[in-house]
């Protein structure tokens, strides 16, 4: 091929590229994106019955970590991957209800009592004695049983590790309550006190986890080393069995090929991305697939659908890394790094190598607090929400964008001091110092999350129109974030023409403005808190529907083009 031919090809290629760029620019300048007049999607119908339950899956204990620390990064090394916006977001910048997530605090307020109750709808199993042991817990380092209460409700009964007695059971209660109120499906976890005589064997002989027959003597042996209260009772964690047939964990990426309802890649689900902040709040460093559960819900006629649950928060609130029942100096060094680095963090290793370890790290300042060893190195002083890491890379966490974090921050903002105290009371910690310390740390970490993720993207939400008056709420005011707002509003008639609107500030963070006559189709009302660095809220209002809110957008800056 002659050089002239190559030149012509290059000229044509450059011309085509220029046309594409010009077309994109003119397309962007043609006007603001319009929302449809269709009703907003608040329910994602992923519970459509289908035949053939999915195959039960199993993930080996250490495979998930090896895959995400080593094999996945290597296999993705040469892929030009960029994070895209979350897929399952409706016109109101919210996540619709589904088998994964239910709008609770995101769309309504809950009382402190409702948050503290969590998923629990029955009386405590302590009021339903005696308990019949039907199986021994098959995994974990500590003893545990499957039990049925006198009325027939089934629970998993497990116990704390002696080195941090009361922490794991408290953590399972706190984690389940916070995740459930935030919108996730979670089990009912309760701290219970009982006597060994309350555990009865069934008429039919059963085997323990070692394959030997489970007897009264073997139960006593399993319980003999556990600490007891002054009245002789034992402390345990009773987790109510979930409805449906377990089919194994679900993954934080991809879709399940044998579930026709599973259409959104898990790493692109906003609720899973945003759950990174919930995990950071309570230091859920073990947020991985093994601590999730998919269940087959029978809809009758041989058909059903899959439900998705979060389970097991026993690692949270300062759980120390352990091998067996005790810790050593090497494990203590790893425990200090929890939340700051991955278990195997090549970036941190490289930094230490090139700086000869001279750079002081926050984990080097880690120490036990006033409550002592029970909460390990769990603190709020060194907590930086943006930098928090799970034990190893989580694909959904890694894909979290600013708007995903802001969405979860608007939910976390509704956990007020009273509700946090109520959740901690459910943990039934015996030490007053431990109770007060846990409340203080949870409040402090919540505040740090809100300072980082609530004040960049607009914290205004709950938009509605009544009698041609548009009202929104400021979640930052609801949460008593110190930075005071200076509200303003204006209406855009075109991409270059706007008019200021009067603002009426009502109680409890509500902001309202009267709507003038709107342009044909949709008008855009821009509402701003006036906080430095915080973007506005654009409310698309449908004039033909007497001022119906058609959708919301949250640009990161006020200067961003419409």
3-state secondary structure 389-405: CCCCCCHHHHCCCHHHH
Residue with tokens 């956990």: 415
Between residues 559 and 116, which one has the greater pLDDT? 116
Is residue 11 scored above 60 in pLDDT?
Answer: no
Is residue 462 scored above 90 in pLDDT?
Answer: yes
Residue with tokens 């091998």: 323
Between CA 174 and CA 168 the distance in angstroms is: 10
- The mean-pLDDT minimum among 32-36, 247-251, 438-442 falls in 32-36
Is the omega angle on the peptide bond into residue 130 within 30 degrees of 0, that is, cis?
yes
The percentage of residues in the chain with a pLDDT greater than 90, rounded to a whole number, is 67
Between residues 124 and 30, which one has the greater pLDDT? 124
pLDDT, position 139: 52
Residues 412-424, mean pLDDT to the nearest whole number = 98
- The mean-pLDDT minimum among 1-5, 26-30, 303-307, 411-415 falls in 26-30
Pair type for strands 199-200 and 131-136: parallel
- The mean-pLDDT minimum among 22-26, 177-181, 306-310, 344-348 falls in 22-26
Q: What is the DSSP code string of 148-212?
A: E-TT--EEEEE---GGGTTHHHHHHHHHHHHHHHHTB----EEEEEE-GGGEE--SS--B-TTSS
pLDDT, position 348: 80
Residue (of 443, 476, 389, 448) closest to 174 by Cα position: 443
Residues 151-179, mean pLDDT to the nearest whole number = 97
pLDDT, position 545: 56
14-56 pLDDT per residue, tens: 443 444 434 443 343 334 566 877 889 999 999 999 999 999 9
Residues 272-287 as b or e (16 or more Cβ within 10 Å = b): bbbbbbbbbbbbbbbb
pLDDT, position 16: 39
pLDDT, position 15: 44
Average per-residue pLDDT for the chain: 88
CATH number of the 460-553 domain: 2.60.40
Contacts of 135 (CB under 8 A, 6+ apart): 145, 146, 206
Residue ranges of domains in the chain: 1-30, 37-453, 460-553
Residues 241-262, mean pLDDT to the nearest whole number = 97
pLDDT, position 242: 98
- pLDDT-derived band at 199 (thresholds 50, 70, 90) equals very high
353-395 pLDDT per residue, tens: 778 777 889 999 999 999 999 999 999 999 999 999 999 999 9
Per the DSSP assignment, residues forming a β-bridge with 429 are none
Rounded (10°) CA dihedral 471, 474, 477, 479: 130
pLDDT, position 307: 99
92-109 pLDDT per residue, tens: 999 999 999 999 999 999
pLDDT, position 324: 55
- Cβ atoms of 201 and 215 closer than 8 Å: yes
Between CA 506 and CA 378 the distance in angstroms is: 39
Q: How far is CA 486 from the centre of its chain?
A: 31
pLDDT, position 553: 96
261-276 pLDDT per residue, tens: 999 999 999 999 999 9
Between residues 341 and 519, which one has the greater pLDDT? 341
Between CA 149 and CA 164 the distance in angstroms is: 28
Residue (of 377, 387, 385, 390) closest to 409 by Cα position: 385
Residue 218 in tokens? 């073997």
- pLDDT-derived band at 540 (thresholds 50, 70, 90) equals very high
Contacts of 353 (CB under 8 A, 6+ apart): none
- pLDDT-derived band at 448 (thresholds 50, 70, 90) equals very high
Between CA 144 and CA 32 the distance in angstroms is: 59
């Amino acid at each position: 091929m002659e050089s002239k031919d190559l030149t012509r090809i290059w000229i044509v290629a450059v011309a085509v590229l220029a046309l594409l760029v010009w077309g994109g620019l003119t397309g962007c300048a043609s006007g603001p994106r319009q929302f449809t007049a269709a009703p907003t999607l608040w329910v994602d119908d992923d519970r459509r019955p289908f035949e053939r339950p999915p195959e039960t899956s199993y993930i080996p204990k250490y495979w998930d970590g090896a895959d995400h620390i080593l094999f996945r990064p290597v296999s993705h090394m040469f892929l030009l991957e960029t994070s895209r916006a979350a897929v399952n977001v409706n016109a109101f910048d919210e996540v619709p209800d589904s088998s994964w997530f239910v709008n609770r605090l995101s769309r309504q307020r809950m009382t402190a009592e409702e948050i503290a109750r969590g998923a629990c709808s029955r009386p405590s199993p302590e009021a339903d004695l005696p308990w019949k042991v039907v199986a021994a817990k098959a995994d974990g380092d500590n003893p545990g049983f499957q039990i049925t209460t006198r009325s027939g409700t089934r629970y998993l009964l497990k116990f704390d590790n002696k080195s941090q007695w009361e922490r794991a059971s408290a953590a399972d209660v706190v984690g389940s309550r916070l995740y459930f109120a935030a919108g996730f499906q979670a089990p009912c976890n309760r701290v219970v006190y009982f006597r060994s005589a309350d555990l009865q064997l069934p008429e039919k002989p059963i085997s323990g986890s070692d394959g030997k027959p489970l007897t009264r003597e073997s139960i006593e042996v399993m319980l003999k080393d556990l600490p007891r209260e002054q009245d002789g009772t034992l402390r345990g964690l009773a987790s109510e069995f979930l409805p449906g047939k377990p089919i194994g964990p679900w993954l934080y990426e991809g879709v399940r090929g044998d579930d026709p309802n599973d259409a959104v890649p898990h790493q692109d689900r906003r609720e899973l991305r945003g759950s990174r902040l919930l995990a950071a709040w309570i230091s859920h460093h073990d947020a991985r697939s093994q601590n999730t559960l998919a269940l087959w819900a029978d809809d009758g006629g041989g058909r059903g659908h899959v439900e998705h649950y979060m389970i097991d928060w026993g690692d949270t609130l300062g759980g120390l890394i352990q091998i067996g029942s005790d810790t050593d100096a090497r494990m203590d060094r790893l425990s200090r790094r929890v939340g700051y680095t991955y278990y195997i963090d090549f970036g941190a290793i490289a930094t230490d190598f090139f700086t000869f370890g001279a750079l002081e790290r926050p984990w080097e300042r880690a120490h036990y607090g006033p409550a002592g060893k029970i909460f390990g190195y769990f603190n709020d002083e060194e907590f930086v929400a943006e930098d928090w890491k799970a034990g190893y890379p989580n694909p959904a966490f890694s894909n979290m964008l600013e708007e995903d974090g802001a969405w979860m921050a608007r939910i976390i903002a509704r956990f007020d001091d009273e509700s946090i105290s109520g959740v901690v009371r459910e943990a039934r910690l015996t030490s007053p110092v431990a109770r007060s310390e846990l409340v203080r740390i949870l409040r402090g970490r919540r505040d740090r999350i809100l300072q980082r993720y609530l004040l960049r993207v607009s914290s205004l939400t709950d938009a509605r129109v009544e009698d041609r008056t548009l009202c929104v709420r400021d979640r930052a005011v609801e949460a008593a974030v110190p930075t005071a707002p200076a509200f303003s509003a204006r209406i855009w008639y075109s991409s270059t023409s706007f008019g200021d609107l009067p603002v009426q500030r009502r109680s409890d963070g509500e902001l309202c403005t009267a709507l003038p006559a709107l342009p044909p189709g949709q008008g855009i009302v821009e509402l701003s808190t006036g906080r430095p660095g915080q973007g506005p809220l654009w409310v698309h209002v449908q004039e033909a529907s007497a001022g119906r809110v058609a959708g919301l957008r949250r640009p990161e800056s006020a200067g961003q083009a419409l």
